């Protein structure tokens, strides 16, 4: 239970209290761990004569003049003077009548603000101020400025944090000798960071290189490593059905029926998955492989093993189009072998839906393919043995958990196979995904011609359209991807509609289709099937085609406003071409001028087709958030530590975590609780 502060217990909550809750500042320890962004120096008084223009300073003096100026904008003007022989004008554009009294002549004021040179001499506009006596003490430490929000005043937050810091139990949890020696004890580090002494070196505080900051980062990394380790060990205690491929069974039959042989990489990852399935603990494996690497068939083979052993399998994809593609492909492979495949998405309604639900609940449907609909409450499986999630980063933690809970029996959990074309960078694999086994398909099926990527300014649009006309005349199929305008789906649509009209005009007698997110699922499916059937020459689409769509004959893709997409997203999109034997081209159109990073990004796309390399560059440019996907919703990214910069601390935390968990399990639990509180649950999914 969080230690609720007395104020939050029963009285109606004030706006600042609500704002604090929203920021996750619930427990004393949360407040103690809410660290300053920067500091203000209120520990000294600068004589007015010595203050320099542009500097933020604290001065003190007696009010010599106080009046309301009525000409122009109504304002309160207050002049103070000190022993340095200079005076300072304070200018208040917003004020209450009571201010005239507080700021009356003869009053001693301590003010803080930015000094400006004005027409009337030195002045400060809206300084912070307070009435003081000659012996009012100065602040003994730097004044912290905390991350806050509009409805949460700094003064309120400062008090709350100081109180939280006093009350929080900050006893040392880590056994002596386990913390890197240069780091101070936690309590000391926190006291220092919240209230640094006047002589503290501000730069090491603000760039987080100070040992006190290092201690905090170490603590955070340790908690994160511990929670991963705990999750791993808990999972090892869970039971799952042991699934083995039978000799002469479905697995072999499917392999024999495929129109191609597996690549060495597909065989290897297939073997890794088979070994997991054969164990009585639930698999928790990520299958990563570049776009077009052939992950689907590996998943189908795993499904065959599960089904052959008498269990059901569920396959969940993030979009209806992708789910439908899987459905067609797997039906094509599996129904000839006598299997029943059910189809469940939001658009399956009424009787058809009931039939699917019944088939899943009775076990008649051996494989259920669909979208988020698969994890709805109403969906029951009789014997779910394997859950497969395609494009896993598109799903939330809660959704993954829900899928795992679909197995009616409480004693067993299904095996979980996740697939992604966005590889996890090594640093993240070591930290956030330490609890995940990873299989990698590092080779494309043979016979693919690499995609050539070209970057053009939008001025070349006419030439690009001519190129499309030429290619279509030779029988090629073309994707034209329209930009994503986040603020406005309507604008998105307008753009796509206009391009559709433009291309229709340029290609008389050819079918030019349109596909966007707002179309009813039936129409989307119809457009997709005309395109994959080859009747449609050009498909103008918003990013709905981003994931997984597989039309081998498509050999040209144009991406408009390419500068608006992330690198990984561009790579995913580009992967829709180059799926067959024909040489493919991807044209990135940009509307300039481009920023330097914008240029770098597009250049990176033209330079490499390697998704892993692109992911590395993306990580450099954008930081790790992108890869975390839905994990962010359950547990924020590291607040203080940086995986790259703090690699030595990460190493130390990784070494300490298993020792702590084995020898001091109580301390390990307390450490996770301290840092993650209720969030730890989410890290397990």
Return residues touching Mg ion (CB under 5 A). 548
Binding mask 406-425 for ligand ADP (x = CB under 6 A): ---------------x----
Interface with ligand ADP, residue 391, by CB under 6 A: no
Interface with ligand ADP, residue 445, by CB under 6 A: yes
CB of 547 to ligand ADP, least distance (A): 9
Which of 142, 157, 183, 291 binds ligand ADP (CB under 6 A)? It is 291
42, 143 in Cβ contact below 8 A? yes
Interface with ligand ADP, residue 66, by CB under 6 A: no
CB of 177 to Mg ion, least distance (A): 49
CA distance 568 to 423: 10
User: Of 550-609, which residues contact ligand ADP (CB under 6 A)?
Assistant: 550, 552, 579
Beta strand pairing call for 512-515 and 312-316? unpaired
CA distance 525 to 98: 69
CB of 294 to Mg ion, least distance (A): 9
297 contact, one of Mg ion, ligand ADP, none, CB 5-8 Å limit per kind: ligand ADP
User: Residue 282 or 292: which CB sits closer to ligand ADP?
Assistant: 292
Segment lying near ligand ADP (by CB under 6 A), choices 217-225, 259-267, 393-401, 426-434:
259-267
Segment lying near ligand ADP (by CB under 6 A), choices 210-218, 247-255, 291-299, 330-338:
291-299
Interface with ligand ADP, residue 225, by CB under 6 A: no
HEC profile of 47-92: CHHHCCCCCEEEEEEEEEEEEEECCCCCEEEEEEECCCCCEEEEEE
Q: How large is the C-alpha radius of gyration of the chain?
A: 32
CB of 444 to ligand ADP, least distance (A): 8
CA distance 36 to 22: 18
560 contact, one of ligand ADP, Mg ion, none, CB 5-8 Å limit per kind: none
503, 540 in Cβ contact below 8 A? yes
Interface with ligand ADP, residue 47, by CB under 6 A: no
CB of 537 to ligand ADP, least distance (A): 20
Interface with ligand ADP, residue 292, by CB under 6 A: yes
User: Residue 89 or 297: which CB sits closer to ligand ADP?
Assistant: 297
CB of 540 to Mg ion, least distance (A): 22
440 contact, one of Mg ion, ligand ADP, none, CB 5-8 Å limit per kind: none
578 contact, one of ligand ADP, Mg ion, none, CB 5-8 Å limit per kind: none
Can the peptide bond before residue 593 be classed as cis, meaning omega within 30 degrees of 0?
A: yes
- Among candidates 309, 241, 302, which has minimal Cα distance to 271? 302
Segment lying near ligand ADP (by CB under 6 A), choices 74-82, 130-138, 180-188, 285-293:
285-293
Interface with ligand ADP, residue 260, by CB under 6 A: yes
Which residue of the chain is nearest ligand ADP when measured via CB?
Answer: 294
CA distance 637 to 647: 16
The answer for residues whose C-beta is within 8 angstroms of residue 488's C-beta and 6 or more apart is none
CB of 295 to Mg ion, least distance (A): 5
237 SS3 class: helix
Q: How many helices (H) and strands (E) does the chain have?
A: 24, 22
DSSP per-residue letters across 291-308: TTS-HHHHHHHHHHHHHH
CB of 311 to ligand ADP, least distance (A): 23
Q: How far is CA 617 from CA 366, 419, 425, 561, 637, in A?
A: 41, 21, 10, 20, 20
CB of 584 to ligand ADP, least distance (A): 13
User: Residue 296 or 440: which CB sits closer to ligand ADP?
Assistant: 296
Lookup result for tokens 């070349």? 460
Outline where DSSP puts E strands in 137-224: 143-145
Interface with ligand ADP, residue 289, by CB under 6 A: yes
Q: In what order do the strands lie in the sheet with 116-118?
A: 116-118, 121-125, 87-92, 75-81, 56-69, 108-114, 128-131
Half-sphere exposure of 459 (CA within 13 A, CB side): 3
CB of 290 to ligand ADP, least distance (A): 7
Which residue of the chain is nearest Mg ion when measured via CB?
Answer: 548
DSSP per-residue letters across 503-529: HHHHSTTS-EEEE-TTS-HHHHHHHHH
User: Residue 317 or 386: which CB sits closer to Mg ion?
Assistant: 317
Which of 224, 266, 542, 671 binds ligand ADP (CB under 6 A)? It is 266
CB of 323 to Mg ion, least distance (A): 11
Segment lying near ligand ADP (by CB under 6 A), choices 30-38, 134-142, 288-296, 366-374:
288-296
User: Residue 184 or 445: which CB sits closer to ligand ADP?
Assistant: 445
51, 122 in Cβ contact below 8 A? yes
Six token digits for residue 4 = 């609720």
CB of 332 to Mg ion, least distance (A): 15
End-to-end CA distance of the chain: 22
Segment lying near ligand ADP (by CB under 6 A), choices 344-352, 401-409, 548-556, 677-685:
548-556
User: Of 295-314, which residues contact ligand ADP (CB under 6 A)?
Assistant: 295-297
User: Residue 61 or 548: which CB sits closer to Mg ion?
Assistant: 548
291, 345 in Cβ contact below 8 A? no
293 contact, one of Mg ion, ligand ADP, none, CB 5-8 Å limit per kind: ligand ADP
CB of 413 to Mg ion, least distance (A): 25
Which of 263, 392, 399, 420 binds ligand ADP (CB under 6 A)? It is 263
User: Residue 96 or 260: which CB sits closer to ligand ADP?
Assistant: 260
**How many residues line the site for ligand ADP (CB under 6 A)?**
18
395, 389 in Cβ contact below 8 A? yes
DSSP letter at 253 equals H
User: Residue 296 or 392: which CB sits closer to ligand ADP?
Assistant: 296
User: Residue 87 or 266: which CB sits closer to ligand ADP?
Assistant: 266
Backbone angles phi, psi at 10, to 5 degrees: -130, -35
569 contact, one of ligand ADP, Mg ion, none, CB 5-8 Å limit per kind: none
Sign of the four-CA dihedral 669, 674, 677, 679? negative
Beta bridge partners of 118: 121
CA distance 631 to 639: 14
Lookup result for tokens 């209806």? 320
Residue ranges binding ligand ADP (CB under 6 A): 260, 262-263, 266, 289, 291-297, 421, 445, 548, 550, 552, 579
């Amino acid at each position: 239970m969080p230690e609720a502060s007395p104020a939050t217990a029963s009285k109606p909550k004030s706006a600042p209290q609500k704002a604090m809750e929203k920021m996750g500042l619930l427990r004393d320890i949360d407040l103690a761990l809410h660290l300053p962004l920067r500091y203000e120096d209120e520990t000294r008084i600068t004589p007015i004569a010595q203050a320099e223009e542009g500097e933020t300073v604290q001065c003190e003096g007696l009010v010599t003049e106080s009046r309301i100026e009525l000409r122009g904008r109504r304002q309160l003007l207050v002049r103070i003077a000190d022993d340095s022989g200079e005076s300072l004008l304070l200018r208040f554009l917003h004020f209450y009548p009571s201010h005239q009294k507080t700021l009356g002549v003869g009053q001693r004021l301590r003010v803080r603000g930015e000094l400006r040179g004005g027409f009337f001499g030195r002045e400060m506009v809206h300084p912070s101020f307070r009435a003081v006596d000659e012996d009012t003490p100065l602040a003994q430490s730097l004044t912290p400025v905390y991350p806050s929000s509009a409805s949460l005043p700094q003064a309120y937050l400062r008090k709350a944090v100081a109180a939280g810091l006093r009350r929080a139990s900050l006893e040392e949890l880590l056994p002596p000798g386990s913390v890197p020696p240069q780091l101070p004890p936690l309590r000391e580090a926190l006291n220092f960071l919240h209230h640094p002494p006047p002589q503290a070196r501000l730069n090491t505080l603000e760039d987080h290189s100070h040992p006190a900051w290092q201690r905090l980062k170490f603590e955070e990394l340790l908690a994160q490593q511990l929670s991963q380790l705990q999750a791993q060990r808990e999972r090892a205690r869970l039971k799952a059905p042991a699934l083995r491929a039978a000799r002469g069974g479905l697995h072999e039959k499917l392999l024999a029926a495929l129109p191609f042989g597996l690549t060495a990489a597909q065989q290897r990852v297939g073997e890794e998955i088979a070994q997991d399935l054969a164990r009585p603990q639930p698999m928790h494996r990520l299958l990563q492989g570049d776009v077009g690497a052939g992950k689907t068939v590996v998943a189908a083979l795993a499904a065959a093993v599960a089904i052959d052993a008498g269990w059901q399998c569920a396959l969940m994809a993030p979009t209806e189009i992708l789910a439908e593609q899987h459905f067609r492909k797997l039906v094509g492979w599996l129904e000839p072998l006598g299997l029943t495949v059910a189809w469940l998405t939001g658009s399956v309604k009424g009787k058809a839906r009931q039939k699917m639900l019944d088939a899943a609940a009775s076990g008649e449907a051996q494989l259920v393919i669909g979208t988020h609909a698969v994890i709805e409450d109403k969906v029951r499986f009789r014997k779910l043995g394997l859950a497969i999630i395609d494009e896993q980063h598109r799903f939330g933690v809660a959704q993954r958990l829900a899928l795992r809970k679909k197995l009616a029996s409480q004693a067993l959990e299904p095996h979980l196979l996740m697939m992604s074309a966005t590889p996890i960078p090594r640093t993240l694999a070591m930290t956030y995904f330490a609890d995940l086994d990873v299989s990698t398909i590092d080779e494309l099926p043979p016979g693919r011609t690499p995609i050539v990527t070209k970057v053009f300014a939008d001025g070349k649009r006419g030439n690009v359209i001519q190129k499309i006309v030429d290619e279509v005349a030779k029988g090629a199929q073309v994707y034209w991807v329209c930009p994503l305008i986040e603020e406005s789906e309507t604008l998105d649509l307008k753009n796509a509609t206009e391009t559709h009209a433009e291309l229709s005009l340029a290609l008389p007698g050819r079918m030019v289709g349109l596909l966007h997110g707002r179309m009813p699922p039936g129409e989307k499916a119809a457009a997709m099937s005309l395109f994959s059937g080859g009747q449609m020459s050009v498909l103008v689409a918003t990013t709905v085609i981003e994931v997984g769509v597989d039309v081998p004959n498509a050999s040209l893709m144009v991406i408009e406003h390419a500068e608006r997409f992330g690198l990984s997203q561009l790579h995913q999109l580009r992967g829709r071409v180059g799926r067959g034997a024909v040489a493919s081209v991807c044209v990135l159109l940009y509307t300039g001028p481009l920023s330097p990073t914008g240029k770098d990004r597009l250049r990176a796309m033209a330079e490499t087709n390697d998704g892993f390399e692109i992911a590395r560059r993306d990580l450099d440019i954008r930081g790790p958030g992108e890869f975390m996907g839905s994990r962010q919703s359950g547990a924020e990214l590291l607040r203080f530590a940086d995986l790259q910069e703090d690699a030595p601390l990460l190493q130390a935390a990784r070494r300490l975590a298993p020792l702590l968990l084995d020898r001091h399990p109580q301390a390990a639990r307390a450490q996770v609780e301290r840092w993650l509180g209720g969030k730890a649950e989410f890290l397990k999914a």
